[in-house]
Each structure stands twice: as structure tokens, then as C-alpha cells.
Structure 1
């Protein structure tokens, strides 16, 4: 599962490795247990019958998946429209899927009408379907490229006064969004299906997040794992309730005005509050901070201090010299131009470095795999019996099941060509500037890029979907040209490319999970297809709830500013127009921060690991440059809570930390549903809680006293 695309690299790296560490610790209590688990996972299930691939696709699995898919889509949507930092929800999906179906089957068993027991294969199907559904809320671009096409974002971007502005706008509409997602979201699934055996069995790629999820599901279906899962679900439920009730309580104090409520509490004083340094009491981001690695949270805080604590106050002193007086906070010819484009420079520097790094690793790894395969053909070929003797029982069992239910290659190739043909015809009708030959070029290169992304993700657990999307923005945008709607064409091309390469790596990760849980590749593929189809309907409907309920959606300073929508739009503008409209010295600062991002990454990769873990992550540092600092403080509070918990009782913190964090995230995320309903019904909170300085408060008191006379 990905995260907001500009932080996707860090989240995929840090988040999933942290999940893998948590899951590994549940299996490594001592050396003896470790050896037993690794050597004989399948021995524990040797007496359990494996359902057929159709038997793994149960009605109850998809009912539960739909319910959890809606829940997680609201969570992902809210995160996308606020800061764009989306943690892994795989643990929550696995936990809640296990809990719901286990409760269901237990009730049926007590009634004597249980026909099919709950298996780990069915659990895998649920987890796959839920993540595929909620993943569309991210890859659909509702907080990035897709919403970046709207007039709300265009009015705040650097092309707001362009004569070709109308040609580069496409306002959201439920009909075309659903159609667009159905066209672009499935083709990535077909692009890598023929490579599943090569990736999983021949190359033995790790796919850390898929492996970690498989260990989690395997452990759930042992007696000890089921007991721990129930305790984790209980903890998740408690903190879900706490988070939901706290969000409900806060709602009463926000009224409909700016700067109201606990989320604008001047924790460190009014002067710090003016520079956006405050704790906003968001349980969601406290939970996100508990899941994200410490280094990401510290990097966010360092970026906040560097930008809002040092750079912006210094640049504001140059008002009238570097940029005109009185332009306002939202003008891209003023301070806002520095905030957005300096953040973009760091994002591009970090993204370029990691693109070269991962593609280099992919090339070296692929060369090594092919070279070894060629050298083996020269040697005497071992017999089948000898091969089986040198293969563990687990591996034999898994290969047998994985190769049993093959997906025909003709289906994958035919599906890809059919969808590509449909997209070539329909996409130019949805986006006028996106010519049919642009679409053909994208689909010609997409399979190779999807393979690179899936292979690199298997080696490093890093998905470069956002980087490939940005590449499409620049190439197609520049090709289309400024006067021919290049901004809109670039953003649309970004959506096509991101969906292809993202779903390709997601599917291969799910194949790895299925391989380790003995789930059929066919059931995995069908589950991914059904989950994607549900997401293509659920995610736009969830977005439409936010879009209809909150008129200021996407506006800077609002509750849902969709910060990366404006970043993506300005990336498209840069690709089409160049740097001519930037304020004075902005380009020089961009070059400096671009180079700094690359040098910091070089230092991280060349320094010994003990020291490298203290070097910040540039892309994480870039995020507060535009959005502010409050969420970074929330996440650091989450890190602090987890750190103290680990010092007091590391075993419990490792076992229950992700469950507690998931509860905090889900509680506030689900509060978005009744909150949106209240907004649609035009029910406003009754109180506005504001904080004033003593001097301002005295003036207000004097003014009120004159009115009462």
C-alpha cells in the first residue's frame, strides 16, 4: 500500500520495515522458537485442508472487505487531504478482518450451521481486498494529481493568471472520476501477472511488507496467535472509541470560523502559534507517529524548524526587496512561492537520487539473477528428487500450491491489450489535451516500468510510483505544450502511470503474501480485481462526501488544504512553463536545496549504519515547508509515547503498539463520516473557542463594554 506519493518512498521504506520488525519479534522470542517457526511453519498446518481457489473467495470475505474498505477509504482520504502522510493499514486490515470473520464463524458454530471454517487463505483474501480498495483512495490522486486539476487549486497556483488557464482545468465530477479509475486502475494488474513465477520462485524476492503480512496472518491462525490477535483487537477497539469520542467532543468548539477549537490551541505561546508551532490534539496523527519510524518524525520536526522557524521569518524580512509588498500569504510571487517551490526542489532531489539508486539496484540484481541462471545451465542438472531433498518442506509445499492454480498468460496479455485499447479511445474524451498517441506511448513503456517497480519493491520494499508519475508529468506536459493544455495533460498522464506501476507492485506483494500463506494465485488475483473494482466506486464516493460537505476543500489554511494537489499542479506548470515566474533568488535557493537533498542521501548511504540512522530524510523534511508544523509535533508526540512505552515494557509495546496506533487513526478517521453528514445537513458547532493575547483581550472587553452601555 502506498502513501501520499511524495512521501511514498519513506513510508514504504520505514513503515513496512517497522511492521516487519514488529511481526518478526512476535516470532523470535527465543532461538529455539525462532528455529521452529522458520523451519516448520507449514508443519503446524499440515492437517488443515486447503480450500480450492474458489472456496477461498467467500461471500462473507467480500462483505467484510467492503465494510473495512469503506472505513479505511475515509481514513486514507482524510490523510490525503490534510498532510498526505499515510501509514500502513495492513496490520489493521488483517486484525479487523480476522476479528469480524472469527466472530461471524463463532456465532454460526454455536448455532450449529457453520459450513466453512475460517482459514488463513480467506484471511489473506480479505486483507488483499481491503488494501486494494483503500489503495484507490491514494492512487486515485484525490489529494494530488486529480484534485490538482480543479479550479480551486488552479486559483492558488502559479498559473492562476495564465490566459490558457481554462484549458488546464477539469473540475471533479463523480461520473468522470469513476470512469477514469475503472479505465486506469486494472491494467497494472495484467502487466506483471506473467512474471509471478519469476519474481516469487525463481528470483526469490523478499517483498518485506508482503512477507510481514503473511507472518501476521499465519500467526493469527495458530492457538497462541489467535489469543494475541483477540487482545490486539480489544486494544484497537478501546483506543478507537477514545479517539472517536475525543473528536466528537472537539467538534463542539470549532464553529464555522477560522482559528477555532482545540486544533488551534497555542501550546507554545501565541508567537510560536503564528509560525504554526503548536500541538493540535489530533489523535490520528499521534497514531501515525506511533507507526512511522522515529527518523521520519524527527525529520519532519527538523524540516518544520528549518522552514517555519528560520527560513520563512528571514525571507519575510526581505519583503519589498525580493518580492513586492502587500502580495498576501497566498501569492506565488511572494512568500508562498518560496514555500512551495523550495519544498518541490527537495522532493525532486530526493526522488531523483532514490530513483537512480533503486533502478541501479534493480539492474544489478537482475543481472546477477540472470547470470546465475545462465551459469547453472552449464552445470549438470540435478534430478527432481535431489532438488526436493535440498528444498525445505515449507518451500516444497508453497511451490506446489503456488504453481497449481496458474493464471493463463493469454488472459494477462489479452486483458492488457483490451484495456489499453479502451483507454486510448476513452481517455482523450475525458481529458481533451491528452491526445490518443500520448496514451499509446504511456502504455508502450508502462510494462517495463511496472516490472522495474515490482522488482525494486521486492528487493527494497520501496515503491517509486510517484517518481514515475512525476516523470510522466514532465514528459507529456512538455510534449503537449503550454498553449495546448500541457498542465492538464501532464496531470492526467501522471494518474495513468501511477496507477499502472503502483498496482503492479501491490499485486506482486500480495502474491508473496499468498505464497507464504498457501493462498491460491487465482484467489489473490480475483481478490485484487474485486477490491480494485470496489475502490473505483467507494473512493470517489468518499471523496465526493468531503467535496460536498466542505466548500473550502483544497483552500490553503482550511481544514482540508490538500497540500499535494497544489504541489503536483506546480510540478506540471514547471514542466510546461519553466522557472520564469519564480520570485527573486527562489531559483538559487531551489538549486541549493536540490543539491542538499542529494548530498544528505549520499551521506545516509555512505555513513556506517550506527551513524546513518541519525541523518534526517530529506523528503520528510520537505513536507512541513508548505503545510506547517502542527502535524509534525503530533507525530513526534506519538513517537515519544511509543519510546516511553518501549522503555517500560518493550514486549507489550511491540505487540500492542501498532494496534493502539491503528485505533487512534481509525477513530478520528471514522469521525469524518458523521462530521460530513452534519456539514451536509448544515448543522454547525455551537461554540467557537479562540485564544487571544492579553492586550487583544482587553481591547475586546472594552469594545463589548461600550456596546452594553
Structure 2
């Protein structure tokens, strides 16, 4: 899970308290009692080369395209991205298992499908779709564009997207994070025994798939996923027919009334966000709705009454010196307050954890040697010893990691200033000197809490490099580009360590994990820009009120402006409001950490509350409906809801996400929907009828 709900990758919109205490620990206890490795004792573990099969990467490539479309759509709509690890693991198992069964019946099967190969697929897909997030297509990278620049006071510093430079940029910055933490894999996974809850949960899922009972359940889950995938895809197709103009179609249905619709309170019939709501914890969905009520239900109507006093009455609603400035900058203040608090919290836990590890380090006693005849060794110690033995078997030399980092850093320092002339070589050198330390901190903190602070480190780069460059030397673009460099390093570092944990628990070789991550990252560096380019050419991106408003692009650009220009660009009284919201975000987090866990689960997350400040509450209503469906389902049959809820949610997200591919092709071909379905008030409808009658 990432601390920044709406910004950070994959997967990861989960409550760490719920994950750690309600799920993982219980599962780990069961693993200890049943001994997973005893179940697979008769199965030979394939060598690391045999784990990297052609079919695994073919399936990974297909799934990477699917997941890149999903993540891109989420990036450009609200920025809330749930964990897709479960979907990746399930779909990978379903596809390859079907493949091997068909080959088995024809007598052509040469190699059975193993959990190690399943882990390789999951790693490759998550690495690839992760680039769709860390590539900044919905945040810093698109924030450089002219379309977003027009919405700010700084309209001359921009760089429009281009397929060539985007792919080149991602290739020179996306691999450094992998090399920066490779030498630390033994320390993190074995010596420190970090939990990495997402990696552990994924490993438990994959291990269960490859038992007879788990395979049977996975087949049923795959059937449910396919059913709701089809429904979601067809529903998206059906809605398309009614969207022939602005504010047309089911997405503009004023389900709660016209007044509520004006203030962004309505259900927009999005299967994607109903599915996201089923995956997200209840408190996240409630937090988003609460943020929408506070902002669009209370704050913005009150500020609108100050029109002509706090801001000019002549300004449009989309002008940053008007009401839009209050919406954007208060959201930024809440995001920064939440980010600062959690950065200090995770950094503190990292320092305390490290000091404890070094004081009490006794590796020899932590990993007893497996002894089948010994009555002293428990089943858990057998699992640990077997996993440790295989994890240490295929070493990745330290010289390879260090040499790779230095070589890629040198290439990057040489190439990046040609892509962004505002980003000087010495800015990049300073980033790369500090990046391994920050990557380690992020990977370690993620192992403790499951919180990746990639976007927080990215914001740190925005402010430091932006202020260093200054307004006269393109500080806005320099800050945004530096954000991309930093985010890609720390994000891929924590992802790789999560994968090492998954591989450790499934007996997948560290070498196969590393190779899979590298190949997945390379796929993502090509697939993600191509998918974004399709959206960019087919749809209107970044415009308030459009189908794809890209809210975080505006937020990130205005963060860069704050870093360069200070607070001079803020509307009247906006700074006071920002101070209050910033302090409130810190206070809410502090209260949640201080109160008993029984009550902490009812306290909202400021990061989730901040998202609707700019966008509105329409997607929050979708998400809350998803929560309600899951809640009722759990009351009727909790076992079925737990087993099939994630599959149903994944089907809804995947079907609606993949519909954007044919929708993009239709838009590029100039094929327009035949009908505009609009909803008008009685008075306006009478005027329309009168006009048409004349």
C-alpha cells in the first residue's frame, strides 16, 4: 500500500493496519501450522533459467497492456489506483494454466506450470504497469504540457508530450532503482525479516493457487472475473452511444438532483470506481466522500459568496486566481501535510528499526539448518531454512549491481539534459548521489509498513531542484523532471524488494525475479507511453469537467510553481486556508496514531479526503456504492464475499478499463456516438422546446 492513496502505484490502496493485523498475520500463522514447503516437498524447484519461460513473458506482455490501460485511465480520472497484484496473479495463473492444460491434452507440454513461473508473471506485469504510475502520465510528466500550463499563472514553461522523448526519458531513469537495492536483498528479506505485506500476501495467494484446493478456487474466481469483465465492457460500450456532446450520457445523470449535480454530487455509473470501492477499505471510501462533503458541500459554496471580495467576480471558475485556486491549493496543502507527517513517521520507524536490527543482529541463530530427523526444528523453521537455502543459492554479484548503477547513472546524466535543457547535469548528479540512500529508506519503510513514499520523495525533488533552478532558468520544468527522476528510482526500488519477498516465499530465484523486473520495466517503458499517447490523441485530457481531467497534473505543476515563486501566486486569504488544512492533515494523522486501534479505524485519511477537493464527489459515490455492495454481500455470505469479492471488483475494473482501447480507436477514426442524452431542469427544457418549436 502506498501512503499517497491517489498517487502511488498499484496497488496499493489498502489499510496497512487491516492488512497486517487482520489478514497477513493470520495467514502467516496458518502457513506455520501447515508448512507450505511440506506441501510442495515432492516438486522439484526449476533452475532460475527455467523459471523464465517464453509463455510467461507472452502472457505478461498481454496482461501488461491490459493493466497499463487500467492504470492510465485511473491516473487521468481521479488518481486513485487500487492494488492490482491480486488481479495480476489470478489472471496470470488462469491464462497459463489454461495454456498448459491445452498443451497437455495435445501431448505438446514440455514443462509444467509452477508457482515460480506464476511469480515471474506477476512480477513482470506489476513492474510494467507500475511504470504507468511512476512515469507521471497523470502527474508530473503531463503537468509539463501546454494544456496544463494554460491553467496556471506560468504559461511559458512547458514541454508537450512526444512519444520519442517520453520513451527515452523512461528508459534512462526507470532502471536505476533496481540496481540501487539489489545488494541489500539478503539484509532486508533474511537478516531483518521485513514483512513486506503486499509481497507476502501475493506469495500466499500464488502458493494457494498451486495446491489442488487453491487451483479449484482460482478457476471459480477466474470465471467470476470473466463474467463481470464482460458485463463491464458491454456496459461501457452501451454508454458510449449516448455521449455525442459535452455533458451527455449516463455519466452526467443528476441522480441526486440538479443542485447537487452542480456541486459534483451524483452517481456517474462508472463500473471502474464501483470495483475500486469494493477493493478499497471502507474507511478510504468514507474519507473520500467526507472530503467531498467538506469541500463541495461546505467550503466552496461559502467561498463563492465572497466572490468580488476574496477574488475578482470577472474570473471564470477555472482560473487559478479565482475559486479554482482555492480548490487546487487547499488540496495541495492537505496532500503536503499528510505527506510530511507520514514521511517523518516512516523515517522515524526506519531509523528505530535499523538501530534495533544492528544492536540485536544475530543471523546465525535466526536461520537454523533444516534437519528432517531433528525433533527440535518446527515446521516453520523447515520452511524458513528451505527458503533461505534457495534464496541464497543464486547470487547476484555486488559488483554487477554497483557497476550497473554507475553505468546507467552516467548515461542518464549525459542524456537527460538533452531532453530537458532546464535540468542541468549537476542537478541530476546530486539526485543520483542521494538516491540510493532514499531508495533504501523507501524500501525499508515499505517492508515495515507497506507504505511507499515515492511521490513524497518526488515532491521533495520538485521543491529543492525547482528552488535551486529558479524561475528565470525554467525551475518549473526542472522541478517536474527531477520529480520524475526521483520517483522512478525510489518506486522501483521498493517494488523490487516486494518482489524479492514474494520470490523468497514461493522459492522463485532472486535472479529470475530481477530479470523479470528488468523485462517488465522495459515493457512498461514502451507500453505506457504508447497507451498514454493513444489517450492524448483520442481524448481531451487535463480540462476541468472533461472525461479525463488529470487532477494530479494540475496539482504537481502548481507545486512546482510554489517551489519557484513562493506564495505570491495564491488568491486572497488562500494561504490562511492552506495553513489550516495543512495543520488539520497533521492533526488527524496524529490522532489516528495515538488513539486505540479500535477507534483509529474510524478516523479518515487526509490524503483520501484531499482528492475530491479539486474533482468533486461523483467518484466517491461510485466507490461508496462498491463498499455497500461488498458490505451487504459479507452480511449474506462472508466466505463467498471474501473469496470472490476481489475477482468481481477486478472484472469490473478490467472490463471498463479495456473498453478505452476501442473507444480510443473510434475517436481517432472520427467515429462519433449517434445520440446525446442530456438532463435539463423543467424551466430550461421549456426554453429549449420553445426554441426548437420556432
TM-score bracket, shorter-length normalisation:
over 0.9
- Residue correspondence of structure 1 range 247-286 to structure 2 within 5 A: 247-255=236-244, 257-286=245-274
Tell me the residue number matched to 2:146.
Answer: 151
TM-superposed deviation, 1:448: 0.3
Alpha carbons of 1:387 and 1:196: their partners in 2 closer, same or farther (altered >3 Å)? farther
Between stretches 554-563 and 204-213, larger displacement belongs to 554-563
- 1:90 is aligned to 2:78: no
Q: Which runs of 5+ in 1 are unaligned?
A: 29-33
CA contact (8 A) 2:2 2:451 kept: no
**1:259-302 CA-partner distances (Å, limit 9, x unpaired):** 10000000011111011100000000000000000000000000
CA contact (8 A) 1:286 1:635 kept: yes
| Aligned partner of 2:229 among 207, 232, 240 | 240
CA contact (8 A) 1:7 1:85 kept: yes
User: How many angstroms apart in 1 are the aligned matches of 2:249 and 2:25?
Assistant: 41
| Aligned partner of 1:421 among 384, 396, 410 | 410
Tell me the residue number matched to 2:679.
Answer: 691
| Aligned partner of 1:633 among 621, 628, 635 | 621
CA contact (8 A) 2:12 2:81 kept: no
User: How many angstroms apart in 2 are the aligned matches of 1:371 and 1:25?
Assistant: 25
CA contact (8 A) 1:124 1:519 kept: yes
| Aligned partner of 1:370 among 343, 355, 358 | 358
- 1:442 is aligned to 2:437: no
- 1:336 is aligned to 2:324: yes
| Aligned partner of 1:327 among 315, 328, 333 | 315
Tell me the residue number matched to 2:531.
Answer: 542
- 1:123 is aligned to 2:112: no
TM-superposed deviation, 1:705: 1.6
TM-superposed deviation, 1:159: 2.0
CA contact (8 A) 1:16 1:209 kept: no
CA contact (8 A) 1:7 1:620 kept: no
CA contact (8 A) 1:188 1:450 kept: yes
| Aligned partner of 1:49 among 44, 64, 84 | 44
| Aligned partner of 2:305 among 281, 301, 317 | 317
Tell me the residue number matched to 2:589.
Answer: 601
TM-superposed deviation, 1:351: 0.5
Tell me the residue number matched to 1:137.
Answer: 132
TM-superposed deviation, 1:608: 0.9
| Aligned partner of 1:218 among 207, 210, 215 | 207
Alpha carbons of 1:387 and 1:530: their partners in 2 closer, same or farther (altered >3 Å)? farther
User: How many angstroms apart in 1 are the aligned matches of 2:303 and 2:414?
Assistant: 49
**1:638-674 CA-partner distances (Å, limit 9, x unpaired):** 0000010011110000000000000000010000000
TM-score (norm 1): 0.94
TM-superposed deviation, 1:17: 6.5
Tell me the residue number matched to 2:184.
Answer: 195
CA contact (8 A) 1:15 1:87 kept: no
Alpha carbons of 1:583 and 1:562: their partners in 2 closer, same or farther (altered >3 Å)? same
**1:500-521 CA-partner distances (Å, limit 9, x unpaired):** 0000000000000000000000
User: How many angstroms apart in 2 are the aligned matches of 1:2 and 1:639?
Assistant: 20
User: How many angstroms apart in 2 are the aligned matches of 1:654 and 1:382?
Assistant: 36
CA contact (8 A) 1:10 1:620 kept: no
Tell me the residue number matched to 1:31.
Answer: none
Alpha carbons of 1:179 and 1:329: their partners in 2 closer, same or farther (altered >3 Å)? same
CA contact (8 A) 2:148 2:554 kept: yes
- Equivalent position SS for 1:323: coil
User: How many angstroms apart in 2 are the aligned matches of 1:263 and 1:561?
Assistant: 14
**1:70-97 CA-partner distances (Å, limit 9, x unpaired):** 0000000000000000101111111110
Query: How many residue pairs get matched?
Result: 691
**1:381-430 CA-partner distances (Å, limit 9, x unpaired):** 99998999477110110001000000011100000000000011111110
CA contact (8 A) 1:210 1:509 kept: yes
CA contact (8 A) 1:261 1:689 kept: yes
TM-superposed deviation, 1:38: 3.9
TM-superposed deviation, 1:39: 4.3
Alpha carbons of 1:510 and 1:316: their partners in 2 closer, same or farther (altered >3 Å)? same
- Equivalent position SS for 1:655: helix
- Equivalent position SS for 1:580: helix
User: How many angstroms apart in 2 are the aligned matches of 1:20 and 1:286?
Assistant: 25
TM-superposed deviation, 1:325: 0.9
| Aligned partner of 2:459 among 457, 461, 470 | 470
TM-superposed deviation, 1:9: 9.4
Tell me the residue number matched to 1:352.
Answer: 340
Tell me the residue number matched to 1:8.
Answer: 8
Tell me the residue number matched to 1:403.
Answer: 392
TM-superposed deviation, 1:35: 4.5
CA contact (8 A) 1:405 1:520 kept: yes
CA contact (8 A) 1:156 1:330 kept: yes
User: How many angstroms apart in 2 are the aligned matches of 1:36 and 1:553?
Assistant: 47
| Aligned partner of 1:178 among 155, 162, 167 | 167
- 1:460 is aligned to 2:449: yes
CA contact (8 A) 1:341 1:590 kept: yes
| Aligned partner of 1:290 among 278, 282, 290 | 278
TM-superposed deviation, 1:15: 5.4
User: How many angstroms apart in 2 are the aligned matches of 1:382 and 1:200?
Assistant: 16
| Aligned partner of 1:498 among 461, 483, 487 | 487
User: How many angstroms apart in 2 are the aligned matches of 1:348 and 1:10?
Assistant: 21
Alpha carbons of 1:269 and 1:380: their partners in 2 closer, same or farther (altered >3 Å)? closer
TM-superposed deviation, 1:14: 2.1
TM-superposed deviation, 1:12: 3.7
Alpha carbons of 1:389 and 1:610: their partners in 2 closer, same or farther (altered >3 Å)? closer
User: How many angstroms apart in 2 are the aligned matches of 1:241 and 1:383?
Assistant: 50
TM-score (norm 2): 0.96
- Equivalent position SS for 2:236: helix
CA contact (8 A) 2:10 2:84 kept: no
CA contact (8 A) 1:338 1:583 kept: yes
User: How many angstroms apart in 1 are the aligned matches of 2:530 and 2:366?
Assistant: 59
User: How many angstroms apart in 2 are the aligned matches of 1:631 and 1:420?
Assistant: 41
CA contact (8 A) 1:4 1:80 kept: no
CA contact (8 A) 1:17 1:208 kept: no
TM-superposed deviation, 1:553: 1.1
User: How many angstroms apart in 1 are the aligned matches of 2:460 and 2:439?
Assistant: 14
Tell me the residue number matched to 1:660.
Answer: 648
User: How many angstroms apart in 2 are the aligned matches of 1:106 and 1:297?
Assistant: 40
